[in-house]
Amino acid sequence: MMRSIGLALAMAVCVSAAPGAASAQQSLVERGRQIAEANCSRCHAIGREGESRLPIAPPLRNLPSRYPVEELAEAFAEGIVTAHPEMPQFTFEPQEIEALLAYIDSLGAAKAK
């Protein structure tokens, strides 16, 4: 299952690099932002700036520097479980994972500019 998610994410990256894919990528990123807003913003900072509402919750923009993307995809697919009780367990569908990771990646890309 994890290989198929990784392959799907790799294919999404390749497709997003194709000419004319900019609007599709923007749509994917926007869907990811909506997922983050609905599921993560209660505790995590989900934008390019700002602090998380819950101090132990890292801003989403920092996740790629802390975890390999493949591990994030796996965690989102299998259900995120943490050592602290404040974090609810989430399980996302492959399309949601793709969108959420595209959004998280866009936060880092914007920061690097």
So what's the pLDDT on residue 17? 52
So what's the pLDDT on residue 100? 94
Q: What is the largest CA-CA distance in the chain?
A: 45
Q: What is the DSSP letter of 90?
A: B
So what's the pLDDT on residue 111? 54
Superfamily (CATH) of domain 2-112: Cytochrome c-like domain (1.10.760.10)
**Coil, helix or strand at residue 80:** strand
Which sequence spans correspond to the domains of the chain?
2-112
Token pair 């996740």 is at which residue? 63
Q: How many helices (H) and strands (E) does the chain have?
A: 5, 0
> What is the C-alpha separation between 42 and 53, in angstroms, rounded?
7
The continuous run of DSSP H or E covering 66 comes out as helix 63-66
The tens place of each residue's pLDDT in the chain, 113 residues long, gives: 444 444 444 445 544 455 566 788 899 999 999 999 999 999 999 999 999 999 989 999 999 888 887 788 888 887 776 656 777 777 789 999 999 999 999 997 655 44
